[in-house]
Homo-oligomer: A and B are copies of this chain.
Amino acid sequence: MTGNCLIAQSGGPTAVINNSLYGIIEESLQSPNIGKVFGARRGVYGLLNQDYIDLSLLSKTQLEMLRMTPGAALGSWRYKLNTREIDIIVAHMQANDIRYFYYIGGNGSMHVAQLIHQAARKKGYDLNVIGVPKTVDNDLTQTDHSPGFGSAAKFLATSILDMSMDIMSSPRSNRITIVETMGRNTGWLAASCALGLKDETGIPMLIYIPESPFSEEKFMHDIRKKYEEHGSALVIVSEGIRNREGKLIAEGSLARDPVGRPQLGGVASYLKELIVKEGSGLSARYILPSIWQRSGMMFSSRVDVEEAYLAGKHACYHARQGINGAMVTIQRSNGTSYSVEYGSVPLTEVAGREKLFPLEWYDADNHFVKNEFLDYLYPLIQGEVSIPMKNGLPAYQHFIS
């Protein structure tokens, strides 16, 4: 099919999201069937307002710099579309002879991609829609893991390792160190912190994930016990931990985001207060890396950077083969050394679904992960990337404003 192509990025960005963008641009610019290569500015906003940028105008250097720049270079937007707006988006695509639409995003974005795919089909407009997985949360189903997760996991594990050296400097400090990770409904990132814990430091770690109900009583009991044994402890909490009734810890005080979800980021502060109030002399402090954990490019893993890039390329290969209404998947090959293959899955099978952290990889009594998870995770954080530096800081290049 001959025509133009359109790429959009959506949702929260990652450190490697622009590698997928680069992969699609590179592949599309080489394709004889593709005319113009457009990018939608600010995700849904650009789709809705026909705000497209001609990406073929970017220089080779600009394109290459994309691979070493975190954040969504095309921009993103949180906005809930209605049916009428989906039709407007398709009409804009038709007006611009867009025949290939690539959407880099998470499970919410895959739902939007599916709606666009359906609307085009209903209209009889020949449009090829391919989703490219992207999420630090690792909660997309049907794929072994998602680009973005490995780098965020490496970021967090490194931070734990660094801070362990600091905590080791003052053993028996009577202080609980709390780290709050992202993870609205899933504990993948909180669990990843386990990689940064070295046995030889002797520092105990407790990990709390949204998949396992949180009890304040057990929490206080556990940290008191760890403290008595070791004089310090590291507590990892996913921002989305919930009690037995499914209510977010500290839910009452949370504001709402533009799509109506409670704005997280504050459970560590709540737990610190709890420890100070009920810990009989225990003290606490907390670390909240917030959006840095998804944008810390210097910690990105080479494996993740490469897979994000290849996921973008495979989106184009799939489209060329006539696959439509599907998301690229990463499948881990069997064998002793780590390798992957890129497949596809209908958007309907991933749209709006969530892959929870497997409870069989979680020891809910001791609040720690099992070795099976570490075996799964280690390959994803391997290798480093060298970021071009300028005057002591990374030389990033963003191209929209």
Q: Are B289 and A287 touching (Cβ within 8 A)?
A: yes
The residue of chain B having its C-beta at the shortest distance from the C-beta of A14 within the complex is B166
- A392 interfacial by beta-carbon distance below 8 Å: yes
Q: Are A171 and B392 touching (Cβ within 8 A)?
A: no
Interface residues of A in 73-105 (CB under 8 A from B): 73, 75-78
Interface residues of A in 52-90 (CB under 8 A from B): 69-73, 75-78
- A331 interfacial by beta-carbon distance below 8 Å: no
Q: Which residues of B contact A154 (CB under 8 A)?
A: 392-393
| CA of A167 to CA of B398, assembled, Å | 11
Given that A75-B171, A291-B163, A398-B165 are contacting pairs, would A157 and B393 also be in contact in the complex, using a CB cutoff of 8 Å? yes
| CA of A107 to CA of B269, assembled, Å | 30
Q: Are B162 and A297 touching (Cβ within 8 A)?
A: yes
- A245 interfacial by beta-carbon distance below 8 Å: no
Query: Chain A 246-284, CB within 8 Å of chain B: the 1/0 string?
Result: 000000010101000001011001001100100000010
Q: Which residues of B contact A169 (CB under 8 A)?
A: 9, 13, 71-73, 75-76
Q: Are A296 and B171 touching (Cβ within 8 A)?
A: no
Other-chain contact of A384, B301, B382, B389 (Cβ < 8 Å):
B389
| CA of A288 to CA of B159, assembled, Å | 13
- A376 interfacial by beta-carbon distance below 8 Å: no
Q: How many copies does the complex hold?
A: 2
Given that A70-B166, A200-B401 are contacting pairs, would A383 and B392 also be in contact in the complex, using a CB cutoff of 8 Å? yes
Q: Which residues of B contact A273 (CB under 8 A)?
A: 253
Query: Chain A 375-401, CB within 8 Å of chain B: the 1/0 string?
Result: 000100111100001011110101011
| CA of A170 to CA of B272, assembled, Å | 31
Other-chain contact of A396, B157, B161, B173 (Cβ < 8 Å):
B161
A273 CB to nearest chain B CB (Å)? 8
Given that A42-B171, A195-B393 are contacting pairs, would A165 and B70 also be in contact in the complex, using a CB cutoff of 8 Å? yes
- A177 interfacial by beta-carbon distance below 8 Å: yes
Query: Chain A 1-27, CB within 8 Å of chain B: the 1/0 string?
Result: 000000001001101000000000000
A105 CB to nearest chain B CB (Å)? 12
| CA of A57 to CA of B165, assembled, Å | 21
Q: Which residues of B contact A171 (CB under 8 A)?
A: 42, 75, 401
Other-chain contact of A392, B73, B165, B382, B394 (Cβ < 8 Å):
B382
- A286 interfacial by beta-carbon distance below 8 Å: yes
The residue of chain B having its C-beta at the shortest distance from the C-beta of A195 within the complex is B393
Interface residues of A in 105-164 (CB under 8 A from B): 154, 157-159, 161-164
A84 CB to nearest chain B CB (Å)? 23
Given that A72-B169, A171-B42, A291-B177 are contacting pairs, would A391 and B398 also be in contact in the complex, using a CB cutoff of 8 Å? no
| CA of A381 to CA of B392, assembled, Å | 6
Q: Which residues of B contact A400 (CB under 8 A)?
A: 168
Q: Are A286 and B288 touching (Cβ within 8 A)?
A: yes
- A196 interfacial by beta-carbon distance below 8 Å: yes
A252 CB to nearest chain B CB (Å)? 12
Other-chain contact of A394, B70, B161, B269, B276 (Cβ < 8 Å):
B161
Q: A71-B162, A76-B169 are in contact. List 6 more A-B contacts (CB 8 A).
A: A158-B394, A161-B394, A162-B295, A162-B298, A165-B396, A286-B288
* A contact residues vs B (CB 8 Å cutoff): 9, 12-13, 15, 42, 69-73, 75-78, 154, 157-159, 161-171, 173, 177, 195-196, 200-202, 253, 255, 257, 263, 265-266, 269, 272-273, 276, 283, 285-292, 294-299, 301, 378, 381-384, 389, 391-394, 396, 398, 400-401
